[in-house]
Amino acid sequence: MFVRFITFVIFAVFISGMSANAATQSLALLETDEATPFICANGICQVELSTFCLQKERDLPRVGDPYKVVAGAALSLVLTDIAGNVTQRPAAPYIQIKAARSGHTAVQVELREGALASLGAVKAAIVIGERVTLMPVAFAGDDNPQSVQDQLLAKGPLRILGARIVDGDPARVETVRILNRLMNALPRTNAIDPGAREKLWVFTARRGFQAATPERIARASAIYNGCWADRLVELGAYSVRTCVQRQHDNLMWDLVKRYWKAVGAGS
């Protein structure tokens, strides 16, 4: 895993040298087959979601770059009130979205606890439906903004192709979904109690991915356990969560490359 760590360092340097004056790539949210819970702390509820790039020719997102949901997208909040009653609402009016890190493999979605309370809920989860597209938020001085045609192409033909090539690839996507749930369950700190390894796996399993095949669960389990045994994790260079994020991103990169190849072939 050390080689992959070096690869990410080089990638980060490459990202830092890109233009900051042009709109970044449109992103596709990976469709989910179950709700992903928000984790709330210090007034903000957060969840990290898997994404892939729809526009190879544009700049990669930088960490913190803001995004918005394309109108009409099938993105819903699942809200639970104090009595345990569950309702759903369109998510877009209540959330903020930004690139989780440099690159196009994940976004961080935020829901303020004040907004959650105003909706009469004590907890929330999010469901990503079919073909959800995210566009970068426009800004003054953009020397290559996303045109109306760009947006129509991204949310239409490109997203449809992405659904077939990426969302529709269960062999890889199921593993990505499991890793995404683990990322959201794992603490950000390097300090984790000795019993956390098994507890976090069981906790995550109870909250989803029962429908995944045993082989793909086993693959995700091997990646997860490998992160606990990673020498750099043991030395405290980065957390188990960061390791799982990097493994998740590697899988997403493989899917993105397949998608880009299909786009280049005119599929």
Contact 146, 222 (CB under 8 A): no
Decide: pTM greater than 0.95.
no
d(CA 50, CA 176): 8
Check residue 8 and give its pLDDT: 45
Instruction: Tell me which residues of the chain have a pLDDT lower than 50.
Output: 2-3, 5-18, 267
Check residue 13 and give its pLDDT: 42
d(CA 170, CA 172): 5
Contact 60, 260 (CB under 8 A): no
Spacing of C-alpha 182 from chain mean position: 12
Contact 180, 50 (CB under 8 A): yes
Closest CA to 239 of 177, 183, 189: 189
If phi > 0 it is left, if psi is from -120 to 50 it is alpha, else beta; for residue 209 that is: left
Contact 232, 249 (CB under 8 A): no
Domain count for the chain, please give it: 1
d(CA 13, CA 101): 13
Q: Residue 10 CB: number of other CB atoms within 10 A?
A: 9
Task: Measure the N-to-C terminal CA separation of the chain; round to a whole number of Å.
Answer: 35
Check residue 266 and give its pLDDT: 54
Check residue 12 and give its pLDDT: 46
Q: 3-state DSSP helix/strand/coil percent for the chain, to nearest 5?
A: 45, 20, 35
Check residue 194 and give its pLDDT: 66
Check residue 198 and give its pLDDT: 86
| Domain span at 245 | 2-152+160-264
